[in-house]
Amino acid sequence: MLIELLENQSYAVREVSQGRYMKGLVPLLGGQYTLDILRDEYMVRLFSHAQIRKGRAYTLQQLAQIALPDDAMPRFIEQIAQLTQREAFIRGYRLQCPTCDIDTWYSLDDIAENVVCLGCRIPFQLPLELDFAFRPNRLLMEASKSGALTVLLTLYHWLQDSPITLWLAGLEVSKNGQTTDIDLLAQREDGLFMAECKDNFNVDDLEALQAQLQVGKSIADAIGASYAFATLTEEEIPATLHDFCETNNIEILPRALLLRY
Ligand SMILES: [Zn+2]
């Protein structure tokens, strides 16, 4: 139905994989209302970490050293438990083979008193003491690399005021030979909302961003949607961009609004 709204305005629409990763991630995390789990500064730090996005496994202690929850440590532990329960993080062990030296992550299912090395295939005995290592689910990795943090936090922000009945992320729309992306389009009970979402952007090069926002805004106008620019950037949003958005009736959703403070 959201796609039809665009098609009725003569846009050709294609759903790209990035958006499908995000659609898949939401039920994995427990549904729209549990996206609240991403709203902490330290969770954003965790999911923005390059090695986590590459799927490296870490112990709980190491995860805390990356995320730095400080005095929210009890809550952080609860969140990791919840994410592991939902298999957004997968519990296992990191083992180093005594023969070939390779350091690899093994899921709980692959663990026995003697483990066959995933490298040289020679069995070795488990160490007597070892911490669990938590590896992100592949969907979580791919979605966060595709900008899911800003998109899903925007979705969560929007549903605070009224339930979202339908939403789509990652649409590629074209008209008259011009192609652009819609990061997020949501149907709320009280109206239609569309956003350009960026984890980060270069504050020294606003021209390209403003041109992109202008195109987005014209699509939003065509389908009767409110339009917002959401960003998790830690840099201060330049006054020029504020002015531009105000003039063009684009709402800015900054980090301070998307996260819990
Ligand atoms: Zn080996």
Question: Considering the domain boundaries, does residue 28 fall inside one?
Answer: no
Q: Do residue 15 and residue 46 come from a single domain?
A: no
What number of other Cβ atoms are within 10 A of residue 131's Cβ?
A: 12
Contacts of 111 (CB under 8 A, 6+ apart): 92, 93, 126
Task: Tell me, in angstroms, the distance from the centre of ligand 1 to residue 186's CA.
Answer: 50
Last residue of some domain: 137, 165, 188?
137
Q: Do residue 153 and residue 188 come from a single domain?
A: yes
Question: What CATH number should be reported for the domain holding residue 232?
Answer: 3.40.1350.10
Last residue of some domain: 68, 102, 137?
137
Question: Considering the domain boundaries, does residue 25 fall inside one?
Answer: no
Question: Considering the domain boundaries, does residue 204 fall inside one?
Answer: yes
Question: Considering the domain boundaries, does residue 27 fall inside one?
Answer: no
Q: Do residue 196 and residue 121 come from a single domain?
A: no
Interatomic CA distance for residues 30 and 18, integer angstroms: 19
Question: Considering the domain boundaries, does residue 168 fall inside one?
Answer: yes
Q: What pLDDT does residue 25 have?
A: 95
Q: What pLDDT does residue 204 have?
A: 87
Q: Do residue 131 and residue 147 come from a single domain?
A: no
Q: What pLDDT does residue 121 have?
A: 97
Q: Do residue 107 and residue 153 come from a single domain?
A: no
Q: Which domain holds residue 193?
A: 2-19+143-258
Task: Tell me, in angstroms, the distance from the centre of ligand 1 to residue 132's CA.
Answer: 20
Last residue of some domain: 102, 137, 172?
137
Task: Tell me, in angstroms, the distance from the centre of ligand 1 to residue 128's CA.
Answer: 18
Contacts of 53 (CB under 8 A, 6+ apart): 47, 136, 141, 144, 145
Question: Considering the domain boundaries, does residue 29 fall inside one?
Answer: no
Question: Considering the domain boundaries, does residue 108 fall inside one?
Answer: yes
58 — phi, psi (to 5°)?
-135, 155
Q: Do residue 147 and residue 132 come from a single domain?
A: no
Number of independent structural domains in the chain: 2
Task: Tell me, in angstroms, the distance from the centre of ligand 1 to residue 111's CA.
Answer: 15
> 260 and 39 in contact (C-beta within 8 Å)?
yes
Q: Do residue 149 and residue 199 come from a single domain?
A: yes
Neighbours of ion ligand 1 (CB under 5 A): 97, 99-100, 117, 119-120
Q: Do residue 77 and residue 61 come from a single domain?
A: yes
Q: Do residue 65 and residue 158 come from a single domain?
A: no
Q: Do residue 50 and residue 151 come from a single domain?
A: no
Q: Do residue 244 and residue 161 come from a single domain?
A: yes
Q: Which residue type does 107 have? A: S
Task: Tell me, in angstroms, the distance from the centre of ligand 1 to residue 124's CA.
Answer: 8
Q: What pLDDT does residue 92 have?
A: 97
Task: Tell me, in angstroms, the distance from the centre of ligand 1 to residue 94's CA.
Answer: 13
Q: Do residue 79 and residue 160 come from a single domain?
A: no
Cα within 13 Å of Cα(135), Cβ side: 15
pTM: 0.94
pLDDT tens string, the chain, 261 residues long: the values are: 899 999 999 999 999 999 999 999 999 999 999 999 999 999 999 999 999 999 999 999 999 999 999 999 999 999 999 999 999 999 999 999 999 999 999 999 999 999 999 999 999 999 999 999 999 999 999 999 999 999 999 999 999 999 999 999 999 999 999 999 999 999 999 999 999 999 999 988 899 999 999 999 999 999 999 999 999 999 999 999 999 999 999 999 999 999 988
Question: Considering the domain boundaries, does residue 79 fall inside one?
Answer: yes
